[in-house]
Amino acid sequence: MKLKISTPNKVIYEWEIEKTSIPTENGNLKVMDGHPPMVTSIKPGLIKLWPMKNNIQVGDEMFVSTSKGMVFIDGKIVRIVSTEATLAPEESESVLLETKRILEEKLKRLKNEWSIEEIEKALIKLEKTNADIELKKMLQTA
């Protein structure tokens, strides 16, 4: 099964995989070859995937942090389109933690202003930042 993860600016990942687990509003969606066709939204979090080469699994699972997006499944190809996706965060863990702190402060302020659209944008960015922090920690221990 082929997996393609892209943002409006570039393709993040395009490779054969054994299976994947994708964060959705209803929990993690597990997808393997032959999965029934479907389209659903994804939420910020970590996409887990098991890469393959010549129909043989090539090692441990990989992770991609993602923001909001959509997944399109047709049984042979899984296409994920996200506003942001990252294989390895470029920022240091301390920068990511500071970004998280700033976003949490912004959310506190926005809740008092009742700006629903701005709260939603900040929450999405915070969830993506949390996924980046988690991914950064995983990469440091690997």
- d(CA 118, CA 109) in angstroms, rounded, equals 11
**pLDDT (0 to 100) of residue 142:** 60
- Convert the pLDDT of each residue in 75-128 to its tens digit: 789 999 999 999 888 888 888 888 888 888 888 887 777 777 887 888 888 888
Let me know whether 81 and 119 are in one domain.
Answer: no
Let me know whether 109 and 75 are in one domain.
Answer: no
- Convert the pLDDT of each residue in 111-122 to its tens digit: 777 777 887 888
Which residue segment(s) compose the domain that 126 sits in? 93-141
Residue 14 vs residues 7, 116, 117, 130: alpha-carbon distances, Å: 12, 35, 33, 24
Let me know whether 97 and 82 are in one domain.
Answer: no
Let me know whether 75 and 6 are in one domain.
Answer: yes
**Whole-prediction pTM value?**
0.80
How many domains does the structure of the chain reveal? 2
In sequence order, the β-bridge partners of residue 26 are none
